[in-house]
Amino acid sequence: MTLLTHLYTQRINVDLRHLRCFLAVAEEGGFTAAGRRLHLAQPTLTRTIKSLEESLGVQLFERSTRRTELTEKGEKLRENLGPLLGQLDRTLKDLREGEKLRVGFSWGLPEGLSRFAARFAEETGTGVEFVRCEIPQDGLGAGQVHVALLRGTPPPRNLRSRFLYEEPRIAGVPAGWELAARTELDWAELADLPLVVNTASGTTFPDMWPAGRRPAVGAECRNYDEWLEQVAAGLGVGTAPLSTARRYTHPSVHLVPLTGAPTVSAHLVYPSHGAHPQAARFVNEAWRASDELQT
């Protein structure tokens, strides 16, 4: 019976962290070099090895002021452990191969999100795939996507979320209207004009103006492409986040800067229960990198 077989037939409190720390000290020949390799402070590493020895009931290292040497049992553990951990690492890497985190969006991904996703994939081994959804939160509920980008209204309470940023709005005006020649429009002026409303994923609705002075609905749609076409057809004006309007244009729609308009908030959300194992990490790291997402 090998040392590892004997140890694992007992009730012992040992995890991979203990074993990786042991192997690093054994291979590096000391705690200082192993600490550098593992990016751990020497006292932390010393406590981990001591905890491993106490759990096993076996002394693994002979320590002196000048050197650290493996005991006979420590040497046996090192000989068995190296190949096992190598095989485990290869197995785990193979399991992650081809794994995808699907991120749902309705329109206008933040300009820097693709760069962030590529870096995330390189660091974690989990690729990121962007999936266009008419209603991203419905994509979450159906399991179509693991994370969703939501804009405008606060995220539903049954989802975990991270606020990313706020951005200004711009107005979309039919090219044939006199207003299209303006250098800017005020939010209050839109109350007197028919409004094209994206009912599925839009961020602009009549109730955002004061009661008694709200725009009439000129047309309804369910995605950004339809929104552009209905504005182009002269059915009304609309507003969209500035970044989206920059990326999606139409020859018959003029984009006019807005003053006095409420900003549009952007959030990343994921399920509170049963989320993809990498969803929280992706969302939290995107939140920390939010300043670069719009550039």
The average pLDDT across 28-44 equals 91
The average pLDDT across 42-53 equals 92
Q: Which residues does 194 contact at the CB level (< 8 Å), separation at least 6?
A: 215, 216, 217, 218, 219, 235, 236, 237
* From 82-96, 134-148, 188-202, the region with the lowest mean pLDDT: 82-96
Please report the pLDDT score of residue 4 as a whole number: 55
The average pLDDT across 76-93 equals 86
The average pLDDT across 108-121 equals 90
Please report the pLDDT score of residue 173 as a whole number: 97
Tell me, what amino acid is at 3? L
Is the model's pLDDT at 98 over the cut of 70? no
φ, ψ dihedrals at 294, nearest 5°: -95, 5
Rounded to the nearest integer, the mean pLDDT of the chain is 90
Is the model's pLDDT at 125 over the cut of 90? no
The average pLDDT across 273-283 equals 94
The average pLDDT across 41-60 equals 92
Please report the pLDDT score of residue 295 as a whole number: 63
Cβ proximity of 172 and 255 under 8 Å: yes
Q: pLDDT exceeding 70 applies to what percent of the chain? A: 94
C-alpha 199, offset from chain centre: 26
Whole-angstrom distance, CA of residue 85 vs CA of residue 14: 14
Q: Is the four-CA dihedral 9, 14, 19, 22 of positive or negative sign?
A: negative
Q: Check residue 29 and report its DSSP letter.
A: T
Q: Set out the domains of the chain in order of their start, with CATH numbers.
A: 3-96 (1.10.10.10), 100-166+265-293 (3.40.190.10), 169-262 (3.40.190.10)
What is the largest distance, in Å, between two alpha-carbon atoms of the chain?
89
Is the model's pLDDT at 10 over the cut of 60? no
Task: Read off the tokens for 159.
Answer: 């989802």
Is the model's pLDDT at 152 over the cut of 90? no
* From 67-81, 82-96, 114-128, 138-152, the region with the lowest mean pLDDT: 82-96
Cβ proximity of 279 and 270 under 8 Å: yes
Strands 217-221 and 127-132: unpaired
* From 6-15, 49-58, 181-190, 200-209, the region with the lowest mean pLDDT: 6-15
Q: pLDDT, tens digit, for every residue of 197-219?
A: 999 989 999 999 999 999 999 99
Q: Could you tell me the pLDDT band of residue 180, with boundaries at 50, 70 and 90?
A: very high
Strands 100-105 and 127-132: parallel
Crossing angle (nearest 10°) for helices 279-288 and 113-124: 130
Cβ proximity of 130 and 109 under 8 Å: yes
Is the model's pLDDT at 253 over the cut of 90? yes
Cβ proximity of 266 and 162 under 8 Å: no
The average pLDDT across 131-160 equals 90
C-alpha 58, offset from chain centre: 44
Cβ proximity of 107 and 287 under 8 Å: no
